[in-house]
Amino acid sequence: MPRMSKVLQVSIAIVLAVAFNPAASPAQSMLDMVDLSSDQFTKAEMSRADIEAAIAKLAPGEKLDLFGKALNKLDLSGMDLRRVSLQAARLMGSDFSNANLEGVNLDSAWSLNSKWTGANLKGASLFGTQLVGANLEGADMTGARVAGDFSKANLKGAKLDGADLSADEKNQSMGLMRGTFRSADLTGASMKGANMRRVLIEYTVLNGADLTGASLAGSELGGSDFTGADVTGADFEGADVNSARIGAMKNADQALNLDKSKNLDRAIRN
């Protein structure tokens, strides 16, 4: 299957969700548009053994395309899935702990309340991916494209060095696609050199996180806690820091354009 445009990927993912609600208002999230109790989100079309067998039969250079497959609640922990495409797949409650998904396409996949602890997601594509409430503690997303919803997710110690979490400025027909970390836990996470322009990181814990050289320009940081976060060389130009706890950031004097952030007078300095 030829690689589709990002907008088409997201559109197909929603259509596959069975219960698309044409009356949904623009203010509603994608979660409001689907029936999470349907078979698409609760059952599995394949077993772990089925996937292992299919991978074993692949010819050299061939990939296993699981586009749109329902693979909910499967234990896929420790598997080498580098030759699998999971674009638009349904992975609700599945376990990918310590699995190798380096470079894997997870665009538009649905994986709420799933487990990705210690997973290798280096260079993976997570565009429009739904990971609300997921456990990604210690996951490695170095160099990945991360424009999904990680609200309420556990990302303690996760690695996002050089990752691109920024907003997609071109395709907005399905709404602004960007990294969303509302009420998430990024304690001790590493985001060195990450592109976080216009990212949504509201009411999130970033205690001890490494933001060295990251771009947070235009991001929404309201209510987040940056206590102990290393912001050496981090760019805050135009970032909204309303009610953000920034008083105990590490190397705050070496941050860039903090004085040009929005609502700096409303940030918590103590």
| Helix or strand run (H / E) with residue 51 | helix 48-56
Residue with tokens 């999971």: 86
From CA 144, how far away is CA 232, in angstroms rounded? 22
Give pTM, 2 decimals.
0.89
Q: Which residues contact 10 (CB under 8 A, 6 or more apart)?
A: 107, 108, 127, 128, 174, 177
Contacts of 141 (CB under 8 A, 6+ apart): 121, 122, 124, 126, 158, 159, 160, 163
How do the residues of the chain divide into helix, strand and coil, expressed in percent and rounded to 5? 15, 20, 65
CB proximity list for 139: less than 8 A, separation 6 or greater: 116, 117, 118, 119, 120, 121, 155, 158, 159
Q: How many CA atoms lie within 13 A of 226 on its CB side?
A: 32
Helix (H, G, I), strand (E, B) or coil at 205: strand
Q: Which domains, ranges and CATH numbers included, belong to the chain?
A: 1-200 (2.160.20.80)
pLDDT at 33: 73
- Predicted confidence pLDDT, tens digits, the chain (270 residues): 344 454 454 444 444 443 333 333 333 356 667 899 999 999 999 999 999 999 999 999 999 999 999 999 999 999 999 999 999 999 999 999 999 999 999 999 999 999 999 999 999 999 999 999 999 999 999 999 999 999 999 999 999 999 999 999 776 555 689 999 999 999 999 999 999 999 999 999 999 999 999 999 999 999 999 999 999 999 999 999 999 999 999 999 999 999 999 999 999 998
Helix (H, G, I), strand (E, B) or coil at 258: helix
Q: Are 197 and 216 in contact (CB under 8 A)?
A: yes
